[in-house]
Amino acid sequence: MAAQIWYENDGDLSVFNGKKVAIIGYGSQGHAHALNLRDSGVDVVVGLRPTSKSVEFAKEQGLDVKSVADAAAEADVIMILTPDQAQRKVWANEIEPNLKPGAAIAFAHGFNIHYGYIKPTEDHPVFMVAPKGPGHIVRREYAAGRGVPVVVAVQQDPRGDAWDLTLAYAKALGALRAGAIRTTFKEETETDLFGEQNVLLGGVNKLVEMGFEVLTDAGYQPEIAYFEVCHELKMIVDLMNEGGLNKDRWSCSDTAQYGDYVNTCIDEHVRERMEYHLKRIQDGSFAKEFIEDQDAGAPKFKQLQEEYSHVRIEEVGPKLRAMFSWNNDGVKDADEANSFTGKIARAQVQ
C-alpha cells in the first residue's frame, strides 16, 4: 500500500490562532522548531531549566523563555524535545502536573510513548512530527525557503483535531514544503532505532573502522586506506541519495560493480544479526538496557564513548580531512552547530 504523504496545501496555520506552543528543550531540534514556528507566526514559548546554558541562546534569538513548568502551564501544545532518557522525568516532574486540560502533547521521536515511559491521560491529543534531518539542517532549509521531510503520527485523538494540529505543526516547521509521510509511533520508533543501530551508525561506522584496520594491518599506508574506506563513502551516499542503489552502481566502474555483486562481506549472517537486534527493539529489551544504564549514571555509555572515540582511523582522519578545501562549507555548518546548538545539546533539559 502506498504511503500517505501530505504537502503544503494540506496544513492550515490558522489552527494555531489563539494557541500557544511550548517547545521544551533548545538543543539541536529544539532551536529549529522554536525559530521556525516563531517565523511562521506561531506564538511560541521555550521551556528550560532556569540554570540551563540554553536560556541565553534562546533569548538572544528573541524568544520568550520560561521554566518548563510555567511554559507547560500556559501552552495549548507542548512539543517535548529533550533527550529520550530525560523526557520521562521532565514529564513527570514538570510537565504533567502543570498541564492545561486537553493540552496536546507532541514528540519528534516515538521512544517514550511507544515503550510506555510517558503515558498521557486519554483527554490529551498525542502526536509526532519527526524531521528526517538534524536540527541545524531543519533550520537552514526553512530559512532558504525549502524544508526537510518529516514523518507524522497520531497516538491519541480525543477531540478529533489531532491530525489538524499535526499538519499545522509540520507546516509551521517548513516540513510540508518537502512532504510529511504518515506513520505510527510504533513504526517510527522501531525503524528509527533499527536503522541507527544496524545501518547508519552501527553498520557504516563499523565497516569503515574494520576496513581501515584490515588494510593497515596488511601493510598499506593509513592515508591510502582512509581514502578508500572512508573519504569515498560520501560520493557513494550522495549517488544513492540522488538515484538510489542503481545510480550508485552505474556510476562506478565495472570492476567495482562486479566486486559488489560477488565479494560483499555482508552475508546472511549479518541478516541474522539484524533480525536479532530488531527483535530486541520490538520487545523493548534495547530500550530497557539503555534506560537502566542512563538511570545508573550511564557508566556503560560513557565507557563506550571513550573507547570508540580513539579508533585507529581517527589517528589519520583529521589530517586528511584538512586537505579537502571543498569541505569548508560543511565544516562551517558543523562549527555553527557546535558553537550554537552543540554547546547545549547534552543538557538534561535543554
pLDDT digits (tens, 9 = 90+) for 275-317: 999 999 999 999 999 999 999 999 999 999 999 988 999 888 8
Q: State how far the Cα of 86 lies from the Cα of 81, in Å rounded to an integer.
A: 10
Which amino acids are annotated as binding site for NADP(+), given as ranges? 26-29, 49, 52, 54, 135
At 286, which amino acid appears?
F
**Tens digit of pLDDT for each residue in 318-327?**
888 888 776 6
Catalytic residue among 31, 33, 109, 114: 109
What does the pLDDT read at residue 147?
A: 96
* Domain residue spans of the chain: 5-182, 194-336
- Is 240 buried (19+), middle (13-18) or exposed (0-12) by CB count in 10 A? middle
Domain 5-182 has CATH 3.40.190.10: no
Distances (CA, A) of 65 to 47, 104, 288: 6, 20, 33
Q: Are 23 and 44 in contact (CB under 8 A)?
A: yes
| Spans in the chain with pLDDT lower than 70 | 326-350
Predicted confidence (pLDDT) per residue in 2-50, tens digit = 789 999 999 999 999 999 999 999 999 999 999 999 999 999 999 999 9
Residues making up the annotated binding site are: 26-29, 49, 52, 54, 135, 192, 196, 228, 232, 253
Residue 1 to residues 4, 8, Cα–Cα distance (Å): 9, 23
Q: Which residues are annotated as a binding site for substrate?
A: 253
Binding residue ranges for Mg(2+)? 192, 196, 228, 232
Among this protein's residues, is 33 annotated catalytic? Answer: no
Residue whose C-alpha cell is 557508566: 299
